[in-house]
Amino acid sequence: MAERDPLTGLANRRLFDAHFREMVSDGINHAFVSALVLIDLDRFKQVNDHLGHAAGDECLRQVAIRLQKALPDAALIARLGGDEFAVLLRAPLDAAGIARLLKRASLALCRPLAWNGTHMDFGVSIGAAVLRQPPGFKLSNLFNRADAALYAAKAKGGNSVNIDGAAVTVKPSRFGRARIDPPPLTGGPVMP
């Protein structure tokens, strides 16, 4: 069976779930994981609706490339489907290190994208659950916590990062809102 997403080349849901199940069954000592991260592109549907699926596909490919550049090599990055991505951060990071890493990833993902002379800006919602090992800890609860953090980020209007229910301030920028600008009327096409 295929273990890679054919569009982005990232791990697919099947491979991601297999790694996650393996971690749950083998325990924490099997593979050091500092956090589970869920990423959702804000207002991605606008791209497909206004520019077509080819533009949406290119956007997803660029998101994959940007994630691979922004995150450590040891991270398992997967496209779960649609505009949803998941990351297992496999590095000895504390909560502050995870916050810095996710800020960097958020800023990288929010950079404008050019496609066929059209300028697209995106926001991303990122939710993460930090691995902790208190008595009674269950690794299977990590996904539920990351999902709750993602929904908390989306509830703030998107374009935000939430780690275990705490919002992380991302440096304000002129980017970060899903916007589709028509090509300029004068001059050449917008370049990537």
CB 30 within 8 A of CB 89: no
pLDDT, tens digit (0-9, with 9 covering 90-100), for 101-110: 999 999 999 8
Lowest mean pLDDT across 26-30, 68-72, 80-84, 90-94: 26-30
40 burial (CB, 10 Å; 0-12 / 13-18 / 19+) is buried
Print the domain residue range for 126. 11-24+31-181
The active-site residue out of 83, 94, 164, 181 is: 83
Query: Residue 130 maps to which CATH number?
Result: 3.30.70.270
21: number of Cβ within 10 Å: 12
Per the DSSP assignment, residues forming a β-bridge with 35 are 89, 130
Our count of domains for the chain comes to 1
Confidence of residue 140 (pLDDT cuts 50, 70, 90): low
> Is residue 50, in this structure, part of any structural domain at all?
yes
pTM: 0.82
Tokens of 120: 């697209």
Catalytic residue at 164? Answer: no
> Is residue 75, in this structure, part of any structural domain at all?
yes
pLDDT, tens digit (0-9, with 9 covering 90-100), for 3-24: 999 999 999 999 998 887 776 6
> Is residue 4, in this structure, part of any structural domain at all?
no
> Is residue 154, in this structure, part of any structural domain at all?
yes
Helix (H) or strand (E) holding 146: helix 141-155
Question: Across the chain, where does the E strand assignment appear?
Answer: 11-12, 35-42, 76-81, 84-89, 113-115, 118-121, 123-130, 160-163, 166-168, 179-181
